[in-house]
Amino acid sequence: MQKTIHIMAGGPEELIPSLLSFNLPDIEWVGVDYGVIHLLNHKIVPSIAFGDFDSVTEEQLIKIDQVTNEIKRFKPEKNETDLELALLWAIKQKPLKIRVFGATGGRADHYFANTMLLARPECIGWNIEIIDKQNSISVFSPGEYTVENRSDKKYISFVPLSEKVNDITLRGFKYPLTNKQTFMGSSLCISNELIQEIGYFSFTSGILMMIRSHD
């Protein structure tokens, strides 16, 4: 049976949503660096922790050693970020879904790099979502998809991550499209809304990021 993996990174606490609805019995939690402390503050013990742990105190690191079953510790001087290593590990577990928390806000370079991880070839095709209090972010390869209306995040934007995205079609949206081409840097598909319970989007080539938000 495929499991769902939740990864907690070390972003600002104030952007992390309530975890009550996400902390279910069949979820495996992974902590990334200071994200382990976030989880412990929410009374969640991760099954595994990743990081160089340069953002935690010595006292906090001792606590992490005491409560976490497995720790994958790395030197600060490495080619991948801690979150990248955790995400690639999670993909190898072949989960049903991966949700990432604590990956937004704070330093702009971290925020941008974390969201762009979803466009890595290894991540394309997996059900991965970055979630904070105001946004959810996911990335799609060419195909046809459904999207449900959600009152908590009514705005839906599509951001091209490739030079071009061809034949993008939006149905059930306030601003529909039919076989349009958009390109990296375009704001064509920003701040749309669903006008039906279920909407549909499709495209034939390129990589597309979907961001669901509320004010």
| Tens of pLDDT, residues 152-174 | 899 999 999 999 999 999 999 99
Q: What percent of the chain has pLDDT over 90?
A: 77
How many residues can be counted in the chain?
Answer: 215
Amino acid at residue number 96: L
| Pairwise CA distance, residues 197 & 208, whole Å | 22
68 band by pLDDT with thresholds 50, 70 and 90: confident
pTM, rounded to two decimals: 0.92
Fold equal for 4-133 and 140-213 = yes
Q: In the prediction, which pLDDT does 72 show?
A: 87
Q: In the prediction, which pLDDT does 1 show?
A: 65
117 band by pLDDT with thresholds 50, 70 and 90: very high
Rounded to the nearest integer, the mean pLDDT of the chain is 92
User: Which CATH superfamily does the domain covering 140-213 fall into?
Assistant: Thiamin pyrophosphokinase, catalytic domain (3.40.50.10240)
Tell me which fold the domain 4-133 belongs to.
Rossmann fold (3.40.50)
User: What is the domain partition of the chain in residue ranges?
Assistant: 4-133, 140-213
197-212 average pLDDT score:
97
* CB-CB contact of 45 with 66 (8 Å): no
